[in-house]
Amino acid sequence: MKQLLYVCAVSILLCSCYGEDKPNFVYTSPITDHTKTSLTANTISPDNKISPTNKIFLAPLKPDSAGYTSIATGNLTPAELIKYAETLKGIPYLYGSTDPAKGFDCSGFITYVFNHFNVAVPRQSVGFAYVNHRIDIKNAKTGDLILFTGTDSTVKVVGHMGILKIAPGKAITFLHSTSGKDDGVTETPLNAYYQGRYMHTIRIFPQNNR
């Protein structure tokens, strides 16, 4: 019986790029520099970014009575998010990591990018399944988030994710950290393989509703 329970636990873990099959609203504390002490919100610059020489502790999001939550993006724009995310291309994949000096898993990459702008997000990719609000992929815009199953597409649990890039007349692409052949942060077309793993598109930027 103990062996069966162990196998089940491992299977659930492997379905997500980090963590369990239910959201755990715990957020990484160090945002940029892991060697400095925690400072106050005064370390945030006027453009809503964290000083590169400091780190800050982000307050956890509070789910509503139904278990859903919203991500407060503040003054951050989708263009700023994508511009910064692209600077991280080539960082290798490392399971369970949010440290660019070592590597990122898929949600570690997302966490690091948003935390850079002082925006708290779920640490696990599956946690984004409980973020408002879902939209049709046909209406997606740059900065929307795309959620996939894990590598086993028959297990309908969110296990991978990326940040969408949408340009008129061009194929949909997304930025993500992958353990596949690209092995790290890269930009990938929404090809047949990922279409087969597709689960949801999440809109968190209010300006994308305009």
Q: pTM, whole model, 2 decimals?
A: 0.76
Considering the chain, what is the average pLDDT of its residues? 80
Question: Band of the pLDDT at 18, cuts 50, 70, 90?
Answer: very low
Give the residue-averaged pLDDT of 55-78.
82
93 backbone φψ class: left, alpha, beta (φ>0; ψ -120 to 50):
beta
> What is the rounded CA–CA span in Å between residue 3 and residue 206?
47
The total domain count for the chain is: 1
Least confident piece of the model among 34-43, 100-109, 169-178? 34-43
Q: Residue 167 belongs to what domain range? A: 2-209
> What is the rounded CA–CA span in Å between residue 101 and residue 96?
13
Residue 133 sits in a domain whose CATH number is 3.90.1720.10
What is the three-class DSSP state of 147? strand
**Residue type for position 128:** F
**Residue type for position 177:** S
Looking at the chain, the whole-number percentage of residues with pLDDT higher than 90 is 64
What the block records as the tokens of 75 is 């003054």
